[in-house]
Amino acid sequence: MSITPDYILDASGLLCPEPVMLLHNRIRDIAVGETLQIQATDPSTERDIPRFCVFLGHELLEHIAVDGQYIYIIRKLASD
């Protein structure tokens, strides 16, 4: 990852919809412009997290998938 996030959320081992629910709760607590890295093992996050960002107006900065780990870095652009 080329971006150092302000916060990290580990949702490894959790299944849909838990990773997105945790993400939704956590992103409320950070300031607009800050970044959050979420780590997950559920492949459905590859669909769900980009949709979450589009729907709520946040920016997906990076997304990598390696060896069953899915890592996303999101910049909060909208206040909830």
Catalytic status, residue 53: no
DSSP characters over 33-66: T-EEEEEE--TTHHHHHHHHHHHHT-EEEEEEEE
Q: Active-site residue among 14, 16, 30, 60? A: 16
Report the distance separating Cα 55 and Cα 75, nearest Å: 14
Active site residues per annotation: 16
